[in-house]
Amino acid sequence: MGTVHLPASGKASPIELTVLMPCLNEAQTLSTCIAKAKAFLAHAGISGEVLVADNGSTDGSQELAASCGARVIDVPVRGYGAALIAGIDAAVGRYVIMGDADDSYDFRTLAPFVAELRQGSQLVMGNRFRGGILPSAMPPLHRYLGNPVLSFMGRLFFKSKIGDFHCGLRGFEREAIRQLELCCEGMEFASEMIVKASLSGLRVAEVPTVLSPDGRDRPPHLRTWRDGWRHFRFLLLFTPRWLFLYPGVVLTLLSLTQLLLAHCHPVNLGRWPVGIHTQLFAAAGMVVGYQTMLFAMGAVLARHCARLNTPHPRERWALRAAGGGWLSIGGALATLAGLAMCASLTWQWGRTGFGALDPETAMRQIIPGVALLLMGTQSLLAAIFFAALRSAFDLRRGARPAHGIEPELPGT
């Protein structure tokens, strides 16, 4: 539980809007951001508050924010997402508009967000590419590669129409977002909010937003490659069908077809390669494809155990397979079949006194046997790993401290 610093105020009144700012050593720009947010609330005649979720500042940001009339909560768990999760829990407004405290967004221009929220939108995203990115406001690598690629992936995988997945200025209906049970503590929180909102069918809108150069004289907290990878990894975790399952199924079926053709060695295929060399490559492809399918099952299970979201209807088979006994039974049968084929060849070899074998004949029997042995062993190990994964998440949920901070009205 964090500490809450309240500004002096009179009798509490119903609050429609909370302007939320995550903060970590933002003393240079924090007072400017708070002043702009309060000016917007006053000019628009909105009953609101400015809430600063401080993530362990050592430059006096907490005291500065309180002196400027903001409410401050101390969030002991480090991370952009951790600060925002605590801030959302502590907010008292029906709506929340979150934005960075580095003066890169103008909090005096929040009217379009409020208008969309009042019209029924549950998540309103800013779009910097439509609103304008001022010179030096965004590194070229982010502007022309990182953001476009990750946003394209988000639109493709989650059927979203959002053009700027990583805009830091966004508004939402507080209770609708809380029901998503957001839990990512790092920068990937920005992707988690949109992904879960899209999967849950929330009403999403987008408004143009201007991005200005921030007012700090130090590097930003965002780390290009580290945080870009975390966003990319998060998106892939939510798309195991496209990343693992579909490629794995295609590779397994193609490899199995080639393996059977090579094993039967039909003479009417002309120049189609059906020798033992192609049989070996086909067996390797089948093992790799099956391993990829197991990764899909693991990704669905991990996401479900972490309560990141409810699995897609097409993914529920993975939970049944990972949680039931079919994986163990199938793995045991495949392992026994592979061992039997290998043992049969060994017995035939022993009858000849362990002399020379015909490579063509021997390899056509041993390659499928080894493939079955590998796939069966993978299944057995995966069943054990999935059971351990479920137990680990159960233990973690029981011991993990909560990020949330109970709301407290100013003046109470």
| Burial class of 386 by CB neighbour count within 10 A (0 to 12, 13 to 18, 19+) | buried
Picking from 181, 182, 194, the residue whose alpha carbon sits closest to that of residue 155 is: 194
Query: Which of 84-98, 290-304, 321-335 has the highest average model confidence (pLDDT)?
Result: 84-98
Question: Which residue type, as a one-letter code, is found at position 355?
Answer: G
Among 89, 109, 96, CA closest to 33: 109
pLDDT higher than 80, residue 219: no
What integer pLDDT is reported at residue 354 of this predicted model? 74
- At 400 the pLDDT is 46
Which range scores top for mean pLDDT: 141-155, 349-363, 398-412? 349-363
Q: Which of 31-35, 70-74, 160-164 has the lowest mean pLDDT?
A: 160-164
In 3D space, the residue among 117, 222, 132 whose CA is nearest the CA of residue 173 turns out to be 117
Closest CA to 93 of 35, 125, 52, 49: 49
CA distance 195 to 310: 12
Are 81 and 166 within 8 A, CB to CB?
no
- The beta-carbon contacts of 225-229 under 8 Å, at least 24 apart in sequence, are 227/186, 227/187, 227/188, 228/146, 228/150
Residue 218: phi and psi, rounded to 5, are -130, 165
Residue 48, phi then psi, degrees to nearest 5: -155, 180
**Cβ(17)–Cβ(48) below 8 Å:** yes
CA distances in angstroms from 307 to 61, 184, 239, 390, listed in the order given: 34, 11, 15, 12
Cβ-based neighbours of 129, under 8 Å, separated by 6 or more: 147, 163, 164
Contacts of 36 (CB under 8 A, 6+ apart): 106, 107, 108
pLDDT at 271 over 90: no
- What distance in Å separates the CA atoms of residue 142 and residue 104, rounded to the nearest whole number? 15
More confident site: 221 or 33: 33
Average pLDDT score, the chain? 81
Those residues whose C-beta lies under 8 Å from the C-beta of residue 367, and which sit 6 or more positions away, are: 259, 276, 279, 280, 283
What is the reported pTM?
0.66
Residues 283-301, mean pLDDT to the nearest whole number: 88
pLDDT at 39 over 90: yes
What CA–CA distance (Å, rounded) separates 201 from 176? 11
Residue the block writes with tokens 């609101």: 48
Domains of the chain, start order: 4-237 (3.90.550.10), 240-398 (no CATH)
pLDDT tens digits for range 77-126: 988 899 999 999 999 999 999 999 988 999 999 999 999 999 999 999 99
Whether pLDDT at 212 is above 50: yes
